[in-house]
Structure 1
Amino acid sequence: MIKFTYSILYVKDVVKSIEFYENAFGFKRKFITPDNDYGELNTGETTLSFATVNLAKTNLTDGFIESTPEGKPFGIEIGFVTENVLQVYDDAIKQGAIGVEKAITKPWGQVVAYVKDIDGFLIEICSPMG
């Protein structure tokens, strides 16, 4: 059996990105390496991790597309479930997130909103299903 355990976002400043997620969403820091080039947050069963762009370049010799706050987000999102989508959206904006889509209620009853984090990664903030 394969288990999805973590996602890694490639960012310019690991500490700054982790502090954003702590302040905007209330996640707790798991650890940051002494060199500040990799860190993890406790987010539930799946760990959200961060690596510096420079560290990522050592792993991916052909390079990659860097995320930036400007322009459209990548065609992938991180999803956070909460009972209070409006409050979490507002808190994220206050901490520096960029609003993409304000909260709407989908036909199936789920409330969904979107922001980009300080590095430009797309985050869905949504109510639980069912």
Structure 2
Amino acid sequence: MEFYKNAFGFVQKFLTPEKDYGEINSGTTTIAFANTELGNSNFKKGFSESTLNDKPFGIELAFTTSTVEKLMQNAVKNGAVLLEKTVTKPWGQEVGYLRDLNGFIIEICTPIQTSE
């Protein structure tokens, strides 16, 4: 959670006294975090733990901003690993990819402009 607070400026919403579960606000969405021990207690058959040593899972968190490069640089300064440099997609959207401290993919992008 500290990484997401420091790298992206999100605000902590909740943290258990044991510090094994917490939530942050990222705009209108709450992102929840559980430590490995709590995760193992929640899933009887266990789960696959994400690490920076393995290929990332095929799922991402996407955060939109008008300052993609600035946010990417701040995230890297706070421990993120650059996965793919920022590119401009054919539809005009700027997109870059990072991995967080646990190896999860984070997409940093400008909002998609619609014609409505």
TM (normalized to structure 1)? 0.85
Corresponding residue SS for 2:13: strand
Residue in structure 2 matched with residue 117 of structure 1 by the alignment: 100
Aligned residues: 113
- Structure 2: tracts of 5 or more residues without a match: none
* CA displacement, residues 9-59 of structure 1 (integer Å, 9 cap, x when unaligned): xxxxxxxxx111111000011111000000000112221110011111111
Residue in structure 2 matched with residue 47 of structure 1 by the alignment: 30
Distance 1:44 1:112 in 2: 19
Corresponding residue SS for 1:128: coil
> What displacement does 1:71 show?
2.8
Identical columns (%): 53
Distance 1:83 1:103 in 2: 13
- Structure 1: tracts of 5 or more residues without a match: 1-17
> What displacement does 1:69 show?
1.4
* CA displacement, residues 83-124 of structure 1 (integer Å, 9 cap, x when unaligned): 000100111000000000010000000000000000111000
TM (normalized to structure 2)? 0.95
Residue in structure 2 matched with residue 14 of structure 1 by the alignment: none
Distance 2:23 2:68 in 1: 24
